[in-house]
Amino acid sequence: MASSDCLFCRIASGGIPADVVYQDQHVVAFRDISPQAPVHFLVIPRRHVASLNVAQDSDRDLLGRMFLAARDTARAEGVADGGYRTVLNVGADAGQVVQHVHMHVLGGREMGWPPG
Ligand code: 5GP
Ligand code: ZN
């Protein structure tokens, strides 16, 4: 897929506006347009990786950076102490809609378990 055809590539490059809460050379975090919790943002790599299923061993550093960006942004958003949930939907059964790997970070309320 060309990055011009990918919604999250376009957000990462600034071509489509988003409420960005963190960014660096490798990853971008922005608020979900349809928040499912008081705090709900997505962490994505700038580089197009369609899903965790197709991530390579060489993406190890990038995937680690996504987690560390989630950690820092959760703290900045004030949910680190209360707790928060990180979610990667992978594939159809999990309900992955956008084919660019993204980590949901949800916080600010108690979460149920198991997830739906
Ligand atoms: P998925 O179901 O693929 O794991 O999650 C995709 C998420 O992207 C959804 O929570 C949806 O609300 C969010 N989303 C879809 N389009 C946009 C958009 O244009 N901007 C933002 N900020 N979030 C989006
Ligand atoms: Zn993409």
Q: What is the DSSP letter of 1?
A: -
pLDDT of residue 102: 98
Return the structure tokens found at 20: 């960005």
Give the number of whichever ligand sits closest to the CA of residue 88. 1
Which residue among 6, 23, 42, 106 has the greatest number of ligand 1 atoms within 8 angstroms of its CB, and so is best to mutate? 42
**Please, are residues 30 and 11 in contact by the beta-carbon 8 Å criterion?**
yes
Task: Give yes or no for residue 50 having a pLDDT over 90.
Answer: yes
Cis check for the bond before 17: say yes or no (omega within 30 of 0): no
Contacts of 72 (CB under 8 A, 6+ apart): 22
pLDDT of residue 85: 98
Return the structure tokens found at 110: 């108690």
**Please, are residues 26 and 62 in contact by the beta-carbon 8 Å criterion?**
yes
CA of 61 to the centre of ligand 1 (A): 24
Residues with CB under 6 A from ligand 1: 7, 18, 30-34, 89, 95-98
pLDDT of residue 3: 79
pLDDT of residue 76: 98
Question: Which tens digits make up the pLDDT trace of 53-110?
Answer: 999 999 999 999 999 999 999 999 999 999 999 999 999 999 999 999 999 999 999 9
Q: Please identify every residue annotated as catalytic.
A: 102
DSSP reduced 3-state for 115: coil
